[in-house]
Amino acid sequence: MNSEKNIDNTIEHLTFENELWKNGMRFIAGVDEAGRGPLAGPVVAAAVIFPRHLKLDGIKDSKLLSSKKRYELYEIIKSKALSIGIGIVDNNVIDEINILNATFRAMHKAIDELIPTPEFLLVDGPYFAEINIPAKKIVDGDSRCYTIAAASIIAKVVRDEIMLQYDKQYPEYKFAKNKGYGTREHIEAIKKFGLTDIHRKSFKVHKK
């Protein structure tokens, strides 16, 4: 069974979390985002705090999960987490302050929603706009850190749900299928129908 879990990239150990718990931290939040790369829609961040030493089966990088499995784990995480925060920043703000700063803003919003306030943050990626909570940035954190992976699942499911709603409003663009990413089908729809109110005008790929 262990070999199967290793093959499917399930995160086996609470390596980062255990170190912090041993140092007396109680409330550790994993932070991740979904939607930095798409041409349309918001960027969504999630922050998750679990009870100490809680280990749920199947948690891994949301990109490696089927849509059905993501939704299943999303419901489990919601039922087991001490706290979950969601931060959403729309395409207009992305165009105004750029996608990196919009991602930081979404992360800060998600962290601000957490009750209790986390004592330490585990953040996916090499960059983070520091706040008054100690943080560790972890490159490829969604595939290496259990709590970040859980946050990646929450963020991905929330953003996908938003794009499903936009699909009803703009059916020509097939947002339910492409989630706003620059697929060939999506690019062709932009060429044919133009940009919608949810497209990121600052993403230059539209000009091609």
Q: How many residues does the chain have?
A: 208
Question: Which CATH code is given to the segment(s) 2-159?
Answer: 3.30.420.10
CA distances from 171 to 9, 15, 179 (A): 35, 44, 12
Take residue 73 and report the two structure tokens written for it: 């784990």
Annotated domain spans of the chain = 2-159
DSSP code at position 61: -
Distance from C-alpha of 85 to C-alpha of 118, rounded to nearest angstrom: 11
Q: What is the tens place of the pLDDT at every residue in 64-106?
A: 999 999 999 999 999 999 999 999 999 999 999 999 999 999 9
CA atoms of 84 and 14, how far apart (whole Å): 18
pLDDT value at position 13? 80
Return per-residue pLDDT of the chain as tens, 208 residues: 333 333 456 777 899 999 999 999 999 999 999 999 999 999 999 999 999 989 999 999 999 999 999 999 999 999 999 999 999 999 999 999 999 999 999 999 999 999 999 999 999 999 999 999 999 999 999 999 999 999 999 999 999 999 999 999 999 999 999 999 999 999 999 999 999 999 999 997 654 4
Q: How far apart are CA 25 and CA 118, in angstroms?
A: 9
d(CA 12, CA 2): 9
CB of 23 closer than 8 Å to CB of 120: no
What confidence score (pLDDT) does residue 11 get? 79
pTM of the model: 0.92
